[in-house]
Amino acid sequence: MKKFIIFACLFVLTNCTRSLPTSFYNLSSDFQNEKVNIVKNIKVYVKINSMPKYLDRPQIVTKKSEVELEISEFNRWASPLIDNLEEVIKNDLVNTSNKIEIVNEISYNKKSDYTIIIDVKDFGGKINETAVINVKYKITNNLTDKTNFYEFNKQQPISTTYESLVTSLSDLTNKLAIKIAKEIKRN
């Protein structure tokens, strides 16, 4: 009987300590996105200036309601979200026009034609409802010292999975990059 109790306790302990597998996600660039006809070669510096602190974590954060957040322990960003988002915006910008070249932080103030500074207000969504991206950004034409301010606030429906959320957020990020490229073209 003692052996049975010990075996039962060990069985329960080993099965209770197992956890669900963790899934890791990255935003992805859309290499088949809409093209923007920019006439001359331009150099662009892109920087995400701010993001809500609650997003600065490896876990994917979604909304349960307007005031309650859900932090998923088993669905995580594969790299820091702010870095991944900035990189995808840069890649998507380059993919919109073969005339856009991204410059690095060290040389941007001397070598870029345009500076884009982005403040992320919301980036996430609610599982089985919508993915949301809300950013404010400014584009400075470094040749004319003219700065224009913009807002991009879009949503799209998603299904019940985190993969659907990340795919939709990638798509919305691509649409942001297209809008930025069109604004650069206007300036």
* CATH number of the domain residue 28 falls in: 3.40.50.10610
Is the predicted pLDDT of residue 161 greater than 90, yes or no? Answer: yes
Q: How confident is the model at residue 61 (pLDDT cuts 50, 70, 90)?
A: very high
pTM for the full predicted model? 0.87
Mean pLDDT of 123-136: 96
pLDDT at 46 over 90: yes
Count, in order, helices (H) and strands (E) of the chain. 4, 8
Predicted pLDDT at 41: 95
92-131 per-residue burial string, b: 16 or more CB within 10 A, e: under 16: bbbbbbebbebbeeeebeeebbbbbbbebeebbbbbeebb
What pLDDT does residue 30 have?
A: 75
Q: Of all residues in the chain, what percent carry a pLDDT higher than 90? A: 79
Residues 61, 73 contacting (CB under 8 angstroms): no
Half-sphere exposure of 14 (CA within 13 A, CB side): 6
Mean pLDDT in residue range 7-30:
73
Mean pLDDT of 90-105: 92
Q: How confident is the model at residue 136, as a pLDDT? A: 98
pLDDT at position 109, please? 60
- Helices (DSSP H) in the chain: which residue ranges? 2-16, 81-96, 108-111, 162-186
Count CB neighbours of 167 within 10 A: 18
Q: Evaluate if residue 108 carries a pLDDT over 90.
A: no
Asked if pLDDT for residue 10 goes beyond 90, the answer is: no
Q: What is the mean pLDDT of the chain?
A: 90
Question: Is residue 133 a contact partner of residue 178, using CB atoms and an 8 Å limit?
Answer: no
Q: What is the pLDDT averaged over residues 39-46?
A: 94
Whether 12 has a pLDDT exceeding 60, the answer reads no
DSSP 8-class letter at 22: P
When pLDDT is averaged across residues 92-96 and rounded to a whole number, the result is 94
State which residues form the domain around 96. Answer: 2-186
Average pLDDT over residues 62-66: 91
How many distinct structural domains can be found in the chain? 1
Residue 141's alpha-carbon distances to 41, 66, 85, 88, in angstroms, are: 14, 37, 23, 22
Q: What mean pLDDT comes out for the span 45-69? A: 95
Segment 16-22 shows an average pLDDT of 72
